[in-house]
Amino acid sequence: MEFYRSHVLICTGTGCTSSNSRALIDTLKKELVENGLEKEIQVIETGCFGFCNLGPIMVVYPEGVFYCRVSEADLREVVQEHFVKGRVVQRLLYHEPNSTVKTTEFDEIEFFKHQKRVALSNCGVIDPEKIEEYIARDGYFALAKVLHEMTPAQVIEEIKKSGLRGRGGGGFPTGMKWEFAAKAPGDQKYVVCNADEGDPGAFMDRSVLEGDPHAVLEAMAIAGYAIGANQGYIYVRAEYPIAVERLTKAIEQARKLGLLGKNIFGMGFDFDIGLRLGAGAFVCGEETALLTSVEGRRGEPRPRPPFPANKGLWEKPTIINNVETFANIPRIIRYGADWFASMGTEKSKGTKVFALAGKIKNTGLIEVPMGTTLRTIVYDIGGGILNDKEFKAVQIGGPSGGCIPAALLDTPIDYDNLIAAGAMMGSGGLIVMDNDTCMVDIARFFLEFTQDESCGKCPPCRIGTKRMLEILTRITEGKGKPEDIDNLEALAKTIKSSALCALGQTSPNPILSTLKYFRDEYEAHIHDKKCPAGVCQALLSYTIIEDKCRGCGLCARNCPVNAISGKVKEPYVIDREKCIKCGACMEKCKFGAIERK
């Protein structure tokens, strides 16, 4: 085996690839060859480090030096300075958002310091396209262990003991689900991986598939052994081309080494996995709709019971787990249920991956023990609010979730606390919002989404979400009626209790949670015809502050409807009747003399 004195890890996840990391890798390899270093320094293409807004990210080992936003133009200097002379290139190092001191090493960075990586433990560490690297990190050891040392019942017992709950949203105990399927009579059973990550603002499943695909394959094989299935399917979004490519490669590699296919490890256990691509229907993230789609039909949900564990894919007993849930399985088997259960809260064990985005300084993917407070996530890991504005709320759980206000920043996050707060874990998208975000508008945004994605099979969802959206749109357009809030609440309750699947049942959550914590904003829209956050255009008005206006006339020249008039060097005036509230004047004014209220 060749020996390298240094390893350069470069992220090739979707985030960094979008920031051009592919070209970076090619150029770096060329530079290394030109300097005769290609046998001393190895370039490794890894999955996601999680710190996406700093991409492309490059980590140099053995020192663990963390370079960020590296461009092709920087590479010559990195090669000359770091690899030839052994000097760290200071200007490419990271500094915390609230400090100017540069941090050299990876694990000293606040963003990483508070994290505990279990499901993401291989992401950003190994080359996901090489099965050997996964095996070198004890990959497929868990599968070997269950096949050699454990009975299916023991595997299920171990997962039950670990306390693992489904990471896709509902939080159903994974071990129990497996037990139901194992006990269900039937000679043909299936294991399905739900990789149809549709929640806007969630990308943890994508990162696991891109950064550690074998963990999912291994877990599915373990599940197959536990319930007595020999066929698995991964249902993955077609919008994730890199994930699809890596999964395809991973399946081929595993088959070649006999880790998938017939007679795995020579133990007489057969298991194989097929890939199914989604086609852009959000409802297919719902388990029964997903199964219908795998069967090759319109992805409409069906009533439960019967649950998939009894009648799933092609009416056979089926377990369906989410990507992140599966990614935890090999680690639970390797390190034991007690180790896993030692993390987290009483009823929510282990860690959870969150996608941190929105108006926050450090955006990216993080994994923390269950029970971590929002404050730690937003301020310690996230570095605080963008432009140091005031924290208003965090939206968690996507269209099924809700908004959590500042007053609950110190609540430990787990399944039950989130439900109590009127939100839900969902897949773990955390969108941070500041005072410039209008909560009525956000509720409208989510309803627009669910209404558009409603499959139309059941009337409460098909008609109910439409009516709720109409009311919300009316409110944001300044035409809200006094009875609207009551009507919204009544509709929400009805839909929650009568819709066919989770998409419909949870669709009122964004409204209910914003009504619970930000009722005053709804009232301001309806009664005072004001949008306190200054977002809803119909409720805004622009005025020129006399004292600040220098009379330059720039605003008048940029107004598309000639609504601004005045004399040079004297304060200008906006004609409210003509103004279309486009904001062009405010954008152009150099003196901050235009106010939006």
Partner 1 sequence: MSCQCKGEAGQGKKYAFIDRIIERHKDEKGSMIPILHEVQQEMGYLPEDVQAYIAQKLGVPLSEVYGIVTFYALFNTKPKGKHKISICLGTACYVRGAGKILEEFEKQLNIKVGETTPDGLFTLEGCRCLGACGLAPVLTVDEHVHGRLKTSDVAEIIAQYKEEK
> Would you give the binding string for partner 1 spanning residues 156-195, x where CB under 8 A is met?
----------------------------------------
Torsion of CA 35, 39, 42, 45, to 10 degrees: 90
Q: Which is nearer to partner 1, 326 or 446 (CB)?
A: 446
> Would you give the binding string for partner 1 spanning residues 435-454, x where CB under 8 A is met?
--x----x--xx--------
The verdict on 203 binding partner 1 (CB under 8 A) reads: yes
The verdict on 532 binding partner 1 (CB under 8 A) reads: no
Q: Provide the minimum distance between the beta carbon of 169 and partner 1 in the complex, in angstroms, as a whole number.
A: 15
**Burial label, 560 (beta-carbon count in 10 A; 0-12, 13-18, 19+):** exposed
Among 147, 150, 455, 501, indicate the residue that binds partner 1 (CB under 8 A). Answer: 455
The verdict on 272 binding partner 1 (CB under 8 A) reads: no
Paired with 574 in beta bridges are 564
> How many whole angstroms separate alpha carbon 348 and alpha carbon 474?
40
The H or E element that residue 521 is part of is helix 509-527
The verdict on 296 binding partner 1 (CB under 8 A) reads: yes
Q: Provide the minimum distance between the beta carbon of 16 and partner 1 in the complex, in angstroms, as a whole number.
A: 9
DSSP 55: P
Among 11, 182, 355, 539, indicate the residue that binds partner 1 (CB under 8 A). Answer: 355
> How many whole angstroms separate alpha carbon 416 and alpha carbon 426?
12
Restricted to residues 302-341, the positions that interact with partner 1 (CB under 8 A) are: 314
Q: Provide the minimum distance between the beta carbon of 546 and partner 1 in the complex, in angstroms, as a whole number.
A: 29
The verdict on 64 binding partner 1 (CB under 8 A) reads: no
Q: Which is nearer to partner 1, 162 or 293 (CB)?
A: 293
Q: Provide the minimum distance between the beta carbon of 311 and partner 1 in the complex, in angstroms, as a whole number.
A: 16
In the block, which residue shows the tokens 């990550």?
197
What DSSP string runs through 165-223?
A: B-TTSS--BHHHHHHHHHHS--S--EEEEEE---STT--HHHHHHHH-HHHHHHHHHHH
Q: How far apart are the first and last CA of the chain?
A: 68
The verdict on 392 binding partner 1 (CB under 8 A) reads: no
Per-residue tokens: 90: 């200071």
Among 276, 316, 352, 525, indicate the residue that binds partner 1 (CB under 8 A). Answer: 276
The verdict on 52 binding partner 1 (CB under 8 A) reads: yes
Q: How many residues bind partner 1 (CB under 8 A)?
A: 54
Contacting range for partner 1; rule: CB under 8 A; set: 138-146, 179-187, 276-284, 515-523: 276-284
Among 164, 227, 294, 461, indicate the residue that binds partner 1 (CB under 8 A). Answer: 294
Q: Provide the minimum distance between the beta carbon of 572 and partner 1 in the complex, in angstroms, as a whole number.
A: 24
Q: Which is nearer to partner 1, 19 or 513 (CB)?
A: 19
Q: Cα dist. 409→390, 406, 587 in Å? A: 13, 5, 34
The verdict on 277 binding partner 1 (CB under 8 A) reads: yes
The verdict on 364 binding partner 1 (CB under 8 A) reads: yes
Restricted to residues 225-244, the positions that interact with partner 1 (CB under 8 A) are: 238-241
Angle of helix 204-211 versus helix 213-227 axis, rounded to 10: 100
8 A C-beta contact, residue 205 and residue 323: yes
Contacting range for partner 1; rule: CB under 8 A; set: 31-39, 293-301, 330-338, 541-549: 293-301
HSE (side-chain half, CA atoms, 13 Å) at 543: 5
Q: Provide the minimum distance between the beta carbon of 453 and partner 1 in the complex, in angstroms, as a whole number.
A: 9
Q: Provide the minimum distance between the beta carbon of 296 and partner 1 in the complex, in angstroms, as a whole number.
A: 3
**Burial label, 484 (beta-carbon count in 10 A; 0-12, 13-18, 19+):** middle
What DSSP string runs through 355-371?
A: EEEESBSS-EEEEEETT
What DSSP string runs through 298-350?
A: ------SSSPTTTS-GGGS-EEEEEHHHHHHHHHHHHH-HHHHHTSB-SSSBS
Among 363, 450, 465, 514, indicate the residue that binds partner 1 (CB under 8 A). Answer: 363
> How many whole angstroms separate alpha carbon 597 and alpha carbon 585?
14
State the residues that interact with partner 1 by CB under 8 A: 14-15, 17-19, 51-53, 55, 197-203, 206-207, 238-241, 276-282, 293-299, 314, 355, 357-359, 363-365, 395, 398, 429, 431, 433, 437, 442, 445-446, 455
